[in-house]
């Protein structure tokens, strides 16, 4: 167990596995500016209950940062995940995705549903509904990518962690805030820029119209303080045929970071129901 680097379509993907492989498998996909480090506490809390597999998506953590932004597209990344899971011998698992990782998890599940035992989407969206919205978001993502490439990276991190989306994180402990900032500062700005262009919200397909076709169980997890994603979850809940929604009190966008015990309890209860 521990860190592994798996060759996928000519690039190296970093994976960390923890726990007995005979236990139910839970795969974790992080958000933008994140890495497998974001799941360290959750993996520890689930020790002895599940086998965890955390993945650094392209451009993040210790995985490769391909030069071509097209390598980060939803179609490419989900196909690469499928190849990775084949190499890891994972046939059926619970897939958990946070924010950008949630979008990627949903994209993967819609393309490869046979592997999905259940899908957990933490503060995630099925994308933007109209081409106008997507075009505007693409322009904004391109501006952010330009900042990453031409401004000091420390300035970008300061800007990013002061977004209103993360206001609730200001009440976290000093240690929690230091860990989150350290993880963000460890990223490669070129990898992040390519990720924004290739798989940013403006570039990803909209999955709203196919939600009604998803037959695997979907668990939506949002923070009560994150009004935007609470509203998105309620919309998704109407369309998904097999769905549960957990709203975690006094949590914002990153529930697994802000309220790790509550988040781990949700994962354990859905994977190991009594």
Which domain CATH number covers 240? Answer: 3.40.50.1820
Nearest to 172 by CA among 259, 249, 99: 259
Sheet holding 218-223, edge to edge: 2-8, 11-18, 51-55, 25-29, 93-98, 116-122, 218-223, 243-248
- pLDDT by position in tens, the chain (length 274): 689 999 999 999 999 999 999 999 999 999 999 999 999 999 999 999 999 999 999 999 999 999 999 999 999 999 999 999 999 999 999 999 999 999 999 999 999 999 999 999 999 999 999 999 999 999 999 999 999 999 999 999 999 999 999 999 988 999 999 999 999 999 999 999 999 999 999 999 999 999 999 999 999 999 999 999 999 999 999 999 999 999 999 999 999 999 999 999 999 999 999 7
Task: Check: CB of residue 14 under 8 Å from CB of residue 40.
Answer: no
Task: Check: CB of residue 56 under 8 Å from CB of residue 31.
Answer: no
| Model pLDDT, residue 28 | 98
| Model pLDDT, residue 274 | 78
| Model pLDDT, residue 2 | 84
- The H or E element that residue 14 is part of is strand 11-18
- The total domain count for the chain is 1
Give the up-direction half-sphere exposure of residue 159: CA atoms within 13 A in the CB hemisphere: 9
- How far are the Cα atoms of 183, 259, 269 from residue 92, in angstroms, in the given order? 30, 27, 18
Q: Containing domain of residue 155, as a range? A: 2-271
């Amino acid at each position: 167990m521990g860190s592994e680097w798996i060759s996928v379509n000519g690039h190296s993907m970093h994976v960390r596995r923890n726990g007995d492989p005979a236990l139910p498998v839970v795969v974790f996909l992080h958000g933008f500016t994140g890495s497998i480090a974001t799941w360290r506490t959750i993996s520890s809390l689930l020790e002895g209950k599940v086998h965890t597999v955390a993945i650094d998506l392209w451009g993040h953590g210790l995985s490769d940062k391909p030069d071509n932004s097209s390598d980060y597209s939803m179609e490419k990344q989900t196909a690469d995940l499928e190849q990775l899971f084949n190499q890891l011998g994972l046939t059926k698992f619970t897939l958990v995705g946070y924010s950008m990782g949630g979008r990627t998890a949903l994209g993967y599940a819609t393309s490869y549903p046979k592997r999905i035992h259940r899908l957990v989407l933490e503060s995630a969206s099925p994308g933007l509904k109209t081409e106008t919205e997507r075009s505007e978001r693409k322009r904004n993502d391109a501006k952010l990518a330009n900042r990453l490439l031409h401004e000091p990276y420390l300035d970008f991190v300061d800007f990013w962690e002061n977004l209103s989306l993360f206001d609730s994180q200001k009440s976290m402990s000093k240690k929690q805030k230091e860990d989150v900032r350290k993880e963000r500062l460890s990223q490669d700005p070129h990898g992040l820029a390519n990720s924004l262009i290739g798989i940013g919200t403006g570039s990803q397909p909209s999955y709203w119209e196919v939600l009604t076709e998803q037959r695997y169980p979907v668990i939506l997890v949002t923070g009560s303080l994150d009004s935007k994603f609470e509203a998105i979850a309620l919309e998704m809940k109407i369309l998904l045929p097999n769905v549960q929604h957990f709203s975690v009190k006094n949590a914002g966008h990153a529930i697994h970071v802000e309220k790790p015990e509550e988040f781990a309890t949700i994962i354990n209860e859905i994977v190991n129901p009594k």
